[in-house]
Each structure stands twice: as C-alpha cells, then as structure tokens.
Amino acid sequence: MAIIAFALHAIGRLDCVGVTDDPAPNTLEKHYESLGNQVDDGRPRRVSSLVVPDAALAEDLASLYFRYMHITFHNIFHRATFIAQVKDSSIPKILFFGVAGLSARYSTHPVFASITPWDRGRPYRDESCMLLAANASVEGDSRAESVYQAIASRMAMLLDLPNLPTESVLEQEINRRVWWSLITTETWSSATQSLPRYIKPRNNVPLPIDERRFASLTYNMPEIQYDSSPGSSPICNFDPHSLVAQMIRLNLLLYDIIVFLNSRVVDTQDEHSVNRSFDHELRHSLDEWADNLPPRLRYSEENVIYWADEGFGAIFITLHINYNHAGQLLFYQNLQSAQEQDAGDDSRQGFAQRCKQHATNLCDLIYEAKWRPDTVVLYPLAGHILCLASTVQIHTLLFGIDDDEIMAAKTRLERNFEMISSMNNYWPMNHMSISRLQHFHNACLRSKDDSFRLDAWMLQFLLGFTQDIKDRDAIWTYGHRALGEFDPLRDLLDI
C-alpha cells in the first residue's frame, strides 16, 4: 500500500533543498492551503459543507483514520499533532482529504447514511493527490498506486529524507517513519507488479522508536544525534519494544520471501537459479525474529489486553497477522510436495504442517480481535491474507485424513468467507479476494493434485492482491508457458 502522503512534505521541501535555516514546523504553512484558510477579506474559507459539514465530523474522520488505516498502510503522522491541527483547522487540506478518503467508509455520521461505504471516500480522494496511491490500491488500481509510489520514493531520495535537517526530535522521527513506510509499503506494491523496490534499506537509518514514547513527543524537544561512527548500525541497535520497528524488520524478511517465491517459479522455466540455502536462511530468520521478541510483544490474551489499554492494540494484532502471513507464504510451497506420493521427505510434511499452523493462528487471532472494538481487523489487506489462509483450509478439506481437522478447516473456511464479505462492504479490492477464492476453487475441481503447485498462476494468486485473476486453465498450463511471461519475475530478481 502506498503511503504517498509524505510527498506533501516533499513537494514543498524540494523548493528549498540545501536550505536548512527555515523553521521546519512552518514549511507546510508556507506551501499548502489549510482547512481553515483566510482570504483577503478576513473571512475563513473552509471546506464545502457538502464535504465536511461540521468540525465534529472532521475530527471523527481523522480519528477513524488512525484507528483503522494508520496502523497498516503507513506510519507517517504523529497522532496528537494531526488531531490538534484538524481541530484548529490548520491541517493542510490535501492531507485531510487524503486521510478522509480512506476513513470515511467507517463513519456512522448521518451525512453518509445514504452513501455506500465504497463511494464515501471518492469526493475526498479527488481533493488529494498525495494519498491517492493508497486510495488507488484499495480500489484495485495497482498500476496507479505503483506510479505514485515511485514519485514518493524519488522525492524521498532527492531530499535524503532520513537525514534531512530538523529542529525537533518529533519531525526527525516522522521523517524516518516516512522513509521506512515507503520501503515497507513497497514490499506489497512491488510484489503485485513483480517489480524491484525503488529504495533499498539502509543500515544507517534508525528504526522507529517505541510507540509510547513517540506519542509523547512534541516539537519543543530538540533532535537526537545518533552515533554514526564506523561499525555502528542503528538498524541493529533498535528498541526491541517498538511495535513499528519490529513490523519493519518483519517486512524486510517478507520482501526476501517474495523474492524467493519468484525465484522458485523462474527456476522451473530456465537455468536461472537461486541458492537453495536461501530457503533455509529464510526459515531460520523467521524463527529468529519470533524467538527474539520481548515477552511483552509475544502474542497472548494478556498482551492483547495490555497493548489495547495502551492504545496500540490494533498495531499489536497487525504485527502478529503479518508474522503468520509471512509464515504461511514461506511454507506454502510445501503443501504440494507434501501431498505427492513420491515426496518421501518427512521435512516437507513438517513444513506443510507449519504452513497450516500459521494459517490457523492467523485466522484465530483475527476471530479473537473481532470481539474488541479497538482491535477488530478491517484494513484492506486483511481480506487478501484471509483469502490465502482459506486456501490452506481447502488443502485440509481435500487431503486431510483426520475428521476433527477437516471439520475445523470447514468451520474456518466458512468464517473467513463471512469476514471477507463483511470487509467487502468497505474495500472494493476485497471483492477480488472473493473472486480469487472462486477461481482457486475452480482450479481444485479440475485437478486437485496440481492445485497447490507453485507456478506463475499460483504466484499471481499469492502476491497480486490488487489484480483480477482468471481461471488457471484459461491462461496457465503448468509446464507450457512462454518464457516471455516470466520477464516480470526476472525484473523482481534484478536487484
């Protein structure tokens, strides 16, 4: 999901690259019309009442954004500052409308009573060009998202955003969060287009600080100077209790998993080969990430309650959704090999079981999160993630031999469909998830023995979450593909 809101900062700052004496907090005011701008006659020129009829709605839309979207799409704002600027109408319109375009579908305000959730964000989206990538993504326009992502990434590199001089630790931290958000959201957007990332992670850029500390920052706190001596690595010396930092580290691993899956498909078509030890390294890295989590960040009911009480329950849930999604992706390739009679490799059976366990954990924690209003999962990618977890349940229905496991898989499949359908009320892209499940089901009906084989069709199914997909036999037949179809996959490997 693209996080192009940051480009708002960038466009204004590109005018003054190399100039460091301007007060940082005032740059937005110099370049962007605020929500309550004044015209020459002194009268406030506010947003049309047809769009934002009252201040309470504006605050509600901002709060809904932080509840449902900021935790998953990107992490580029300081909540207290953003809400305060909405309240005093000093927030730049372009930022507000970008945020409102995403959050309006969750609102229960009477002004939206006659408007379907899908349509609510479109008037706001038209006012914003910086969060357009996120809006484009959730509506299934992955190409537009990719273009805006590229623009934002170029701006960040031109500004050298993580090293941009600032006057406060708050702005310094926001710049770094924007930088890392560009990298992490590009993991998802590059996967769906099979394109290499624009920004490569730097070991000298510090990871985000603990969310509790970040929430308490103000513009009055001077920036922090980090040790830049040889051998020091801010990305390694991070705060392990930072939920966002842990999410970024997991995302970097997810990108490697995506590259690995692409390499497996390319390997079946030509002599291009990726070291097979990469598979082992990824399994080790995933286990190491989980094993090194501090006790307070490990998944448990006690920790869900703790982080919810701290105001970060949704981020905590998302962290563990992402972990289990990374696990089900990494081990998904073993579902096919484990069912083949000539596999003869007990390790494959074990890896297939790990895929099923990750999918089960993922489903169960989303079910549990539903019972708390501050942790319920409704963000767009959750539908795609549940779609993949549902196919793992289908594998159990097709090849399982334990009656209890089969019954549990059937129950999860039914609940997942209900949850994806409910998410479809908010996000058009989840309609694609339902369609993709149908196409997967059709593939299983035609040939269940090959239905989990990792080929180009399966790769698009696993990663191309914003793209429509056709029936497998309509365009893909295993082992009979023109090599030209794999050029995009090679693009991803060319990094």
**336 within 8 A of 454, measured Cβ to Cβ:** yes
Phi, psi of 24 (to 5 degrees): -60, -45
DSSP β-bridge partners for residue 38: 44
**360 or 491, greater pLDDT:** 360
- Assess contact for 176 and 478: CB atoms under 8 A: no
**pLDDT, tens digit, 9 for 90 and up, residues 103-120:** 888 999 888 888 888 877
Phi, psi for residue 45 in degrees, rounded to 5: -105, 90
Lowest mean pLDDT of 234-238, 418-422, 449-453, name the range. 234-238
| pTM for the predicted model, two decimal places | 0.77
Q: Which amino acid is at 277?
A: S
Residue found under tokens 């693209």: 2
The secondary element (H helix, E strand) that includes residue 294 is: none
| CA pseudo-torsion sign 223, 27, 90, 62 | negative
Query: 474 pLDDT band (50/70/90 cuts)?
Result: low
**Token pair 């105001």 in the structure block, residue:** 311
% of the chain beyond a pLDDT of 90: 32
pLDDT in tens, 373-426: 999 998 888 999 999 999 999 999 999 899 999 999 999 999 999 999 888 888
Q: What is the pLDDT of residues 70-99, one digit of tens each?
A: 877 567 889 999 999 998 888 887 788 788
